[in-house]
Amino acid sequence: MNDLCEGRVAIVTGAGRGIGRGEAIELARQGAKIVVNDLGGDMDGAGGSSAPAEAVAQEIRDMGGDAVSNGDDVSDWDGAGRLVAAAIDHFGRLDVLVNNAGILRDRMLVNMTIDEWDDVVKVHLRGTFCPTRHAVDHWRERSKAGDEVNARIINTSSSSGIYGNVGQTNYGAAKAGIASFTVIAAKELARYGVTVNALAPGARTRMTEKLISARGTSDPAPDEFDASHPDNVAPLVAWLASLESASVTGRVFNVAGGRISVAEGWHAGQQVDKGDRWESSELGSVVLELVARAAPNAEMNGQIPWPDDSL
């Protein structure tokens, strides 16, 4: 056990498997006390079981850490409230909230149903808002009472949201919303001693294994570094959860394998200013020239595919 997060109390949602599991275990390994939250459903959100969350909590206890499990639905307002209360009731406080829970209902837009849209947006976007809102109440009350608050919110966005991926308009829209939520919440919550950051992770999980398989990515040899292992995401989460990260807020990080980068968001690029209202008929050549001079949209790996002659 290490002491980067010694004494910190953390909630990790969606922690029964994959990336969330690795985050919960690494936070515990760094000395944090953990509430392991997972509804225990299928990848599409159907069903539920307490077994995955309890298994991870027991794994943490077996390694000498302190953890409890929780099966509340983070997209339910009252359930999210019970989750935050569980941390406070069991450990006396809350310092870190890692919003990781999610589901997939991939479908091309022309075939997507309203339920497939609503279910994904609810779990990801509302499932980030609800626990955050309850946690913020706790930190705001502590701040107003004169306590020193050094709290952390770590959200989970996705390259599908900030760069775009075919077949995921619902998932991508929710994940883009989480990135924006992160930037705005960071500005609002700084006064209370709360930082807010997000990750866009790349890893092999239940939600990505079909995509990775379609790319023809082979499994590493036993003695090779597994760049797609979900546990590779956890060290950055543990550092962001620590006191060392107090000056970092409002950022979205790409993390995959051993690579970490800062996602640089929307910003004003090429521009033209007439100094007066445009006529619609004037804009054809103007807009086409602006687009021709502008940077292309980033690809799924976050890199901008510049033409060779622009390098």
Tens of pLDDT, residue by residue over 102-137, are 999 999 999 999 999 999 999 999 999 999 999 999
The set of catalytic residues is: 158, 171, 175
Q: What is the dihedral of CA 101, 181, 239, 233, to 10 degrees?
A: 40
Element spanning 201, H or E: strand 194-202
pLDDT class for 212, splitting at 50, 70, 90?
very low
Q: Residue 213 has what pLDDT?
A: 47
Residues 6+ apart with CB under 8 A from 159: 165, 200, 202, 254, 300, 301, 302
Q: What is the pLDDT of residue 172?
A: 96
Beta-strand relationship, 9-12 and 33-37: parallel
- Partners of 80 in the β-ladder: none
Amino acid at 197: N
pTM across the whole model: 0.91
Helix 77-91 vs helix 127-144: crossing angle, to nearest 10: 40
Average pLDDT of span 7-16 = 97
| Average pLDDT, integer, range 188-204 | 95
pLDDT, tens only, 37-74: 999 866 555 656 889 999 999 999 999 999 999 999 99
Structural domain boundaries of the chain? 9-263, 280-310
pLDDT for residue 306 is more than 80: yes
* Mean pLDDT score, 87-94: 98
* pLDDT given for residue 308 in this prediction: 67
* Cα angle 221-227-230, degrees, rounded to a multiple of 5: 110
pLDDT at 40: 86
pLDDT at 299 over 70: yes
- Please state, rounded to an integer, the average pLDDT across all residues of the chain: 92
Q: How many CB atoms lie within 10 A of CB 122?
A: 17
CA angle 15, 18, 21 (to 5 degrees): 35
Over the range 146-176, which residues count as b (16 or more CB within 10 Å of their CB) and which as e? eeebbbbbbbbbbbbbbbebebbbbbbbbbb
Q: Measure the CA–CA gap between 282 and 271, rounded to whole angstroms.
A: 15
Fold exhibited by the domain 9-263: Rossmann fold (3.40.50)
Gap between the Cα atoms of 19 and 233, Å rounded: 7
- Residue 311: pLDDT over 60: no
Element containing residue 93 per DSSP (H, E): none
Tell whether the model's pLDDT for residue 179 goes beyond 50: yes
- What Å distances lie between residue 262 and 37, 178, 199, 250, 253, CA to CA? 28, 16, 9, 11, 5
